[in-house]
Amino acid sequence: MKTVLITGASRGIGKEAALKFAKEGYTTYLTCSNSIYQLKEVKDEIDAMGKAPCYIFQCDAKAYDKVAEMFQNLPPLDVVVNNAGISFYGLLQDMTVAEWDQVLNTNLSSMFYTCKLCIPGMLSKGAGRIINISSIWGNDGGSFEVAYSASKGGVNTFTKALAKELAPSNIAVNAIAFGVIDTDMNGHLDANERQALIDEIPAGRFGTTKEAAEMIWQLANSPAYLTGQIITMSGGF
């Protein structure tokens, strides 16, 4: 039975990805930093499918010692989805150093920790897939989202570099740069701001979490020769 670790799986893209992998018969290992009750609800949904086991962990993704402790309870993994992330919306000059550190550590350092710890198991299996969740702002930068954009830009170059290291070992590393997906991360937008943003998207709508999960699933099952890529899914934005 194949295994997948998905960080930040209590809601949004992470939750839908967890449900998709579970439906396809994967043993799922799911994490959250704070929303353990929501994550338990995700586990309940997966358990109700009756297809494969699900294990959940409350683990601060930006704390290396906590991530390392969790990995002591994990088998070698087939797929890792680095989805844990937060945003900060506001002017850079109004951002505190603590807020900057929190965004960079949650979005970028957490991915380093997970990759560092999952690679030995994938090497022992002779195969693996690492999928990093990025953003179109990591490609182009977003006004009022400098820290978030910087962290996702780091995700992109991290992905390309690590892919080169691991390609000889049959481990593919790719990222998906999502556009505007309808999740809680966009909760700061009022109705007028949402509509103005929709008007900029050629597809005429926000993406859904189920569409995002389907893209993650497809990438997890793509040929190993597809590696080091930043795949943009944005509705043409």
Question: 49-73 as b/e, with b when 16 or more CB fall inside 10 Å?
Answer: eebbebbbbebbbbebebbeebbee
Length of the chain: 237
- State how far the alpha carbon of 13 is from the alpha carbons of 65, 178, 180, in Å: 25, 10, 12
Q: Catalytic one among 26, 29, 113, 148?
A: 148
The answer to whether residue 148 is catalytic is yes
Report whether 81 contacts 110 (CB < 8 A).
no
Contacts of 221 (CB under 8 A, 6+ apart): none
Choose among 164, 152, 173: nearest CA to 234. 152
Q: Catalytic amino acids?
A: 148
